[in-house]
Structure 1
Amino acid sequence: MLTGKHLIAGDWVAGAATFASTPAHGPVHEFSVGTPALVAQAVEAAEAAFPSFASTSREDRARFLDAIADEIDARGDAITEIGTQETGLPAARLQGERGRTTGQLRLFASHIRAGDYLDRRHDAALPDRQPLPRPDLRMMQRPIGPVAVFGASNFPLAFSVAGGDTASALAAGCPVVVKGHSAHPGTGEIVAQAIDAARKSCNLHPGVFSLVQGGKRDVGEALVQHPLIRAVGFTGSLGGGRALYDLCAARPDPIPFFGELGSVNPMFLLPAALSARGEALAKGWAGSLTMGAGQFCTNPGIAVVIDGPEADAFAAAAKAALEPVAAQTMLTDGMAEAYRQGRDRVAAGTGVRSLLTTMCDQRQATPNLFEVSGTDWLADHMLAEEVFGPLGLIIRVKDAAEMEAIASSLQGQLTCTLHLDDADTALGQTLLPILERKAGRILANGFPTGVEVADAMVHGGPYPASTNFGATSVGTLSIRRWLRPVCYQNLPDALLPADFR
């Protein structure tokens, strides 16, 4: 059952003011509004919990992560019911996302049990070394302290209350304070109930996890500026993320802000591949563009092709594949309005031609398709900005050299894709070194909307795709965001962390 309250260090706390949820369908619920004072309570409890939680064994933390996954699964039907109401996403999507959420919790449990993430190193003492002896040196990764996490609008489970940021921070030994997203507060509360139940069953300090619901801009600002917060995980818009990033940098003690801010995820269709299977590529692109109403940060919004008959056929096939796609419900009214504004911005761009323009209103989204020359795209930087929704832009370049120029001009991306056949190898070899500097993940002959949760995954990239090009928000490497190396020189065994004894 929903309480409509915040979870602050094990207690469900009401606020003085409330806000109403805005579901796509189903009942409206009232939730307490977050405040800076509640943030302070949650962060101070997290700091109180840190010494004991950071010193727990890896096995104890792994059991906690597994218990969270079990508690979420036990509430699966309730999560799906309210999740579909709040977001408009189909039940199958919510069920799949719940599986991803519990899967990554269990993956981190296995990861910390193995212990490799600690990166333990030992340089034994050399007392007889000349001209100077060497001390005994041991190094390992240690948790940094309380972490702030901002729930994402487009993934109510996998990137929100118990998503990858929370799972990896808890695995590292860092207490977490989550600012829930107001687009799906009921979903967030039920997941928070699961985390709290798991915490109680594992007999952990109540400050290990807190959820502050809703709230205005001052709540997010208070969270990232609280002096006890040591790092921030964020998935959201470029504007909102950049504002929080600047606040983190402006603190008296600047802290890292790990923001995943979006991407246009360009695809480069090389000549032989386009000639051999252009129609199939167009159909696959249309399916990827419209999956989940295009509300994925890895949605491939741009396709780069060399102009000619093959490009004509590709554009016609993409249009034919997109035309019958019905309207889909977007996650919020604000997202739907932003999508319409993005469509209009692209349509007004220099040299842009409309291949498929559709009208949608309220919370609905329908696909749109445009094309532009490489010369005009290079001259209009607004065309390189993300449109969050099912919109595709075909860039027709004159030749391989202009395709390279497009690649070189890109800002940071989460993904870049090469569609190529054997005859395209030379051009692919030319493009790859350019794209390696632009994206965190490079695909061949696929579509980037599926992000595997695995050891080798990188979900991040140079700015503005993310604010820290050396980090990932998906996969086991994401735990490194919440750790720092500590060297222990000549410490007796009794004082060393348990993982070094």
Structure 2
Amino acid sequence: MQLEGKSLIGFATSGGGTAFRAADPSSGESLEPAFHNTTSDDVARAAQLAQAAFASYGQASGKQKGAFLRRIAEGLLAAQDAIVERAGRETALPQARLTGEMARTVGQLRLFATLVEEGSWVDARIDHGDPARAPIPKPDVRSMQRPLGPVVVFGASNFPLAFSVAGGDTAAALASGCPVIVKAHPAHPGTSELVGRVIQHAVRESNLHEGVFSLLFDAGHEVGLALVRHPVVKAVGFTGSRTGGRALMEAAAARAVPIPVFAEMSSVNPVVILPGALTKDVKALAAGLHGAVTLGVGQFCTNPGLVFVPQGADGDRFVNELATLIGGTAPGTMLTAGIRTSFAAGVEQLSTRAEQRTRVAMAPNRAGAALLVTDTVALRAKPELAHEVFGPSTVVVRYRGGAELRETLGGLEGQLTATVHATPDELAANGDLVVLLGEKAGRLLFGGFPTGVEVCHAMVHGGPYPATSDGRSTSVGTRAISRFARPLCWQNFPDAALPDELKEANPLGISRLVDGKLG
């Protein structure tokens, strides 16, 4: 596929706005072709098409939506070589990482296809009526989940495939029956166009309304805000900074009709090491943490940015071993020059507040790793030490006992994850600590490290604010579909007028809650 640098608006293209170019992060070299910012007319046209598409796509069967999602997956695999090559140039991510991310993207599309083909996700509920009930007859009441309407998805900088144009938010929204308008991330527009054309082709091949999918380019923030404010848009999916997420939340709340913004924003993913864990292989534990902190040059939302280590000789040995590993980490190329600049500034700010640090090696377009050390007293006095710095850095917090540890953990913000390293006996004896961490995070881990998010039915990739804007949801796994649906109730409708999911004979054979019993 030849890149054109134009937005995809249904089956048409548009390139009337001002131009910008992607850059190779490893060299700063501008990449061809030029991409064109979307105009206000383009935004209006994409929204109009999405609204028109919802009339039919919102009523599509699970089999139709499943076949469509599978076509997208097949198209991505057919175009994989070109997509991975362009993504490598725009992100400096290695081929193996991008190939793995492509597999994840395809896998989650197929997972959602299986979910909607089976159909029970709609949570169908039936309470039969009883006209003979006295003194008031009981009505026949039936309900199920229905799609919200057009959804805007923002591509993420750090996952050009799995959290971008055909990523989890798009897959979940399309699976629910919502048309999608994607605002491409300006750091990898070429990758976005290639993936967008695969989806565009799948829409056409599936005989769907062209407004089911559009892809818009913009190097700034105007188009994104215009999309969120557009009256036909019913929900937003976003992965990025707290500043960006808050701006979208405020724009959505200020509308005449407010809409939900499902934003994944910031998390430091605390790792709590209890004393018993340090009586084992300290070097292996330090190596595992070092790998988690520096994986992907620290550009994952689940990299551990806060590590609680007990005071004492065992803790000293662990911190010294970790400092040696961090200090020997070769600088890596970050996704964009802006991310690298923000990382350097963030580490510098942390360094003025921490007691000690391992110096960060910096080079043009590259950044090394950073280790900062403080204690619970300083952290409670300077809570900014627990703010996310996006990149390969972590803050070790030394604690003196369980009470001090719990008090400090209780003051943390909401997180995507929280991890405990302990012996089984310690874990059993610290049930209240696990409960406390469960109030702060969306995913709890015993052992291991939180980098790497399994795409499956049970996964929760979300958490209390500011990890996400709504801790009741997830952006990974099949639970994500519920973000883009709402319950609708039918009362006393004749059977023939009900959706198949709610008809008495259950023609789709799905699991339903009937008079309070699952069947």
Paired residues of 2:270 and 2:417 also in contact (CA < 8 A): yes
Counterpart CA distance in 1 for 2:127 and 2:501 is: 16
Deviations 1:95-126 (A, max 9, x none): 00000000000000001111121100111110
Residue 60 of structure 2 is matched in structure 1 by 56
Query: Is residue 2:360 matched to residue 1:384?
Result: no
| Consecutive unaligned residues in structure 1, runs of 5 or more | none
Displacement of 1:277 in angstroms is 2.8
Deviations 1:348-391 (A, max 9, x none): 11x4211x112313321111111001100111011010010110
Residue 94 of structure 1 is matched in structure 2 by 98
Paired residues of 1:143 and 1:484 also in contact (CA < 8 A): yes
Paired residues of 1:34 and 1:214 also in contact (CA < 8 A): yes
Displacement of 1:322 in angstroms is 2.1
Displacement of 1:144 in angstroms is 0.6
Aligned residue type for 1:326: A
Pick aligned residue for 2:318 from 314, 320, 342: 314
Displacement of 1:29 in angstroms is 2.5
Displacement of 1:182 in angstroms is 0.2
TM-score by length of 2: 0.94
Query: Is residue 2:35 matched to residue 1:34?
Result: no
Q: How does 1:5-44 map to 2 (within 5 A)?
A: 5-24=6-25, 27-44=31-48
Pick aligned residue for 1:191 from 184, 195, 215: 195
Specify the SS of the correspondent of 2:60. Answer: coil
Q: How does 1:102-251 map to 2 (within 5 A)?
A: 102-251=106-255
Counterpart CA distance in 2 for 1:239 and 1:142 is: 31
Query: Is residue 2:303 matched to residue 1:299?
Result: yes
Residue 420 of structure 1 is matched in structure 2 by 422
Deviations 1:227-250 (A, max 9, x none): 000000000000111011011111
Identity of aligned residues (%): 47
Specify the SS of the correspondent of 2:321. Answer: helix
Aligned residue type for 1:112: V
Displacement of 1:37 in angstroms is 2.4
Aligned residue type for 2:210: P
Paired residues of 1:249 and 1:255 also in contact (CA < 8 A): yes
Paired residues of 1:35 and 1:218 also in contact (CA < 8 A): no
Specify the SS of the correspondent of 1:396. Answer: strand
Residue 406 of structure 2 is matched in structure 1 by 404
Counterpart CA distance in 2 for 1:436 and 1:199 is: 41
Displacement of 1:310 in angstroms is 0.9
Residue 363 of structure 2 is matched in structure 1 by 361
Aligned residue type for 1:353: Q
| Consecutive unaligned residues in structure 2, runs of 5 or more | 504-519
Counterpart CA distance in 2 for 1:36 and 1:293 is: 37
Paired residues of 2:374 and 2:397 also in contact (CA < 8 A): yes
Specify the SS of the correspondent of 1:437. Answer: helix
Paired residues of 2:54 and 2:212 also in contact (CA < 8 A): yes
Q: 1:215 to 1:492 in 2, by over 3 A?
A: farther
Aligned residue type for 2:371: L
Displacement of 1:426 in angstroms is 4.6
Paired residues of 2:308 and 2:398 also in contact (CA < 8 A): yes
Q: 1:427 to 1:391 in 2, by over 3 A?
A: farther
Deviations 1:60-110 (A, max 9, x none): 000000000000110000011100000000000000000000000000000
Residue 51 of structure 2 is matched in structure 1 by 47
Deviates more, 1:112-121 or 1:422-431: 422-431
Q: How does 1:448-487 map to 2 (within 5 A)?
A: 448-487=450-489
Paired residues of 1:34 and 1:216 also in contact (CA < 8 A): no
Aligned residue type for 1:436: G
Counterpart CA distance in 2 for 1:56 and 1:473 is: 23
Counterpart CA distance in 2 for 1:352 and 1:256 is: 41
Deviates more, 1:112-121 or 1:271-280: 271-280
Paired residues of 1:23 and 1:88 also in contact (CA < 8 A): yes
Aligned residue type for 1:272: G
Deviations 1:391-445 (A, max 9, x none): 0111001111111112111100000000011231255312111111100000000
Deviations 1:153-175 (A, max 9, x none): 00000000000000000000000
TM-score by length of 1: 0.98
Residue 342 of structure 1 is matched in structure 2 by 346
Paired residues of 2:331 and 2:363 also in contact (CA < 8 A): no
Specify the SS of the correspondent of 1:472. Answer: coil
Paired residues of 1:268 and 1:419 also in contact (CA < 8 A): yes
Counterpart CA distance in 2 for 1:423 and 1:401 is: 18
Specify the SS of the correspondent of 1:255. Answer: coil
Counterpart CA distance in 1 for 2:460 and 2:295 is: 21
Query: Is residue 2:6 matched to residue 1:2?
Result: no
Aligned residue type for 2:485: L
Counterpart CA distance in 1 for 2:307 and 2:283 is: 13
Counterpart CA distance in 1 for 2:259 and 2:365 is: 37
Q: 1:384 to 1:184 in 2, by over 3 A?
A: same
Specify the SS of the correspondent of 2:280. Answer: helix
